[in-house]
Structure 1
Amino acid sequence: MEWFNVGRIVNTHGIHGEVRVLSTTDFEEERFAVGNKLAAFKKGDKKPTWITITSMRRHKNFILLMFEGMNNINLVEPFKEGMLKITKDQMTDDLLEENEYFFHEIIGCTVISEEGETIGIVHDILQTGANDVWVVKDSKKEYYIPYIEEIVKDIDVENKKIVIHVMEGLL
């Protein structure tokens, strides 16, 4: 089964079973909604525990969650430093706007110039606030490609291929 991280449980919060989560998703309201089911992986475990969210609130830079049937610190303590994940089936395209993609759809794509020259493969995505920047690597170099209309001309996630316009100074 393919898993996607949506948050990391960094600590417990209080004695009533709340956990402090550092979000790794752009869709916090949907992923951490009351009633939503997530897979909780304890640190080092390969097998998840399915949990249902019963409470969600923000506190500073964290999201505080409570899980069904886990209403004290002793029950949630084992999840400390664990990961919250979803399956590919839980990812829905209706969360995305036009010309938006999930990171896993972009990472691994081969980047090609309009002239047909292979630039490299997308290895990472940096979120800068203004626009995402793709980290593209070939065997020798690393390039930073901004995800903007002037540069990215075509994205084919089915064939894992991206065509870009190479502006002067880009590479």
Structure 2
Amino acid sequence: MTSRRRKAAERRRRKRQGTGSPPTGEPAFLLVGKLRRPHGLRGEILMAVTTDFPERIQPGVTLYMGDSHEPLNVATIRHHNRGLIIAFEGFTSRNDVEHYNNQDLYVPADDRPPLPEGEYYLHELIGMKVITEEGETLGVLAEMIETGAANVYVVRREDGSDVLLPAIDEVILEVDVGNKQMKIHLLEGLLPE
């Protein structure tokens, strides 16, 4: 693994700490956004959306802020450029929200929407045993790298080396979330000589 990727993985690991979620396995909370700066004088604040399901952020929903997961009930939302303008119940002035700059917002993991067949949440894949179609253990799925085309899975081998697998149908044959196992077809050139 390159130094740059190792540093990025370490930043992601540190980011997960304090979310109430273990570094691997089932998380307790899922990140949905980040509060930016107050907007106007009536207690509204800009929010950058980080979820693939922004429709879940609606008036009446409870979001959990920061490392302490302080519950905040959404009073109103409006769309604004690349994010939302959000107001929480009980906050009526700019002073009420000024100190919330750069705070992360979460929802309980139990509230996550179900995915279509064949799609998975990343936390369901991390830690999976990766085996070849011949039944040989290749290693454990350690992380995913998002690229412009197909995502790439980083499989950590027993000796500490990494194998990069493109997340494409020709390589990923079967994903068994219940048994934490992924079956793959090793295309020529995927393993180092």
Q: Which amino acid aligns with 1:163?
A: K
Give the superposition deviation at 1:129: 4.7
Q: Choose from 96, 102, 110 the match for 1:89.
A: 110
Quote the Cα distance in structure 1 between the aligned partners of 2:82 and 2:145. Answer: 19
Separation (CA, whole Å) in 1 of partners of 2:81 and 2:151: 24
Instruction: Tell me the distance in 2 between the aligned counterparts of 1:166 and 1:21.
Output: 43
User: Is 1:118 equivalent to 2:118 in the alignment?
Assistant: no
2: distance between equivalents of 1:141 and 1:56? 47
- 1:73-152 correspondence to structure 2 within 5 Å: 73-93=94-114, 96-138=115-157, 139-152=159-172
Structure 1 segments unaligned to the other structure (5+ residues): none
| Partner residue in 1 for 2:30 | 4
How many residue pairs match? The answer is 164
Say if 2:59 is the partner of 1:40: no
Q: Give the match's secondary structure for 2:97.
A: helix
Whether 1:19 and 2:45 are equivalent positions in the alignment is: yes
Computed over aligned residues only, the root mean square deviation of the Cα atoms, in angstroms, reads 2.2
User: What is the CA–CA distance in structure 1 between the aligned matches of 2:36 and 2:64, rounded to whole Å?
Assistant: 16
User: Is residue 157 of structure 1 aligned with residue 177 of structure 2?
Assistant: yes
Name the SS of the counterpart of 2:135 in structure 1.
Answer: coil
Q: Which amino acid aligns with 2:172?
A: V
Rounded to whole Å, the distance in 2 between the matches of 1:59 and 1:120 is: 44
From 77, 88, 106, give the equivalent of 1:67: 88
Secondary structure of 2:123's counterpart equals helix
Q: How does 1:51-62 map to 2 (within 5 A)?
A: 51-62=72-83
Unaligned ranges ≥5, structure 2:
1-19, 21-27
Look up the equivalent residue of 1:10 and give its one-letter code: R
Matching of residue 49 in structure 1 with residue 49 in structure 2: no
The structure with the largest strand share of the pair is 1
What TM-score, normalized to structure 1? 0.81
User: How many Å separate the matches in 2 of 1:54 and 1:157?
Assistant: 37
Identity %: 36
Moved more, 96-105 or 48-57: 48-57
What amino acid sits opposite 1:158 in the alignment? G
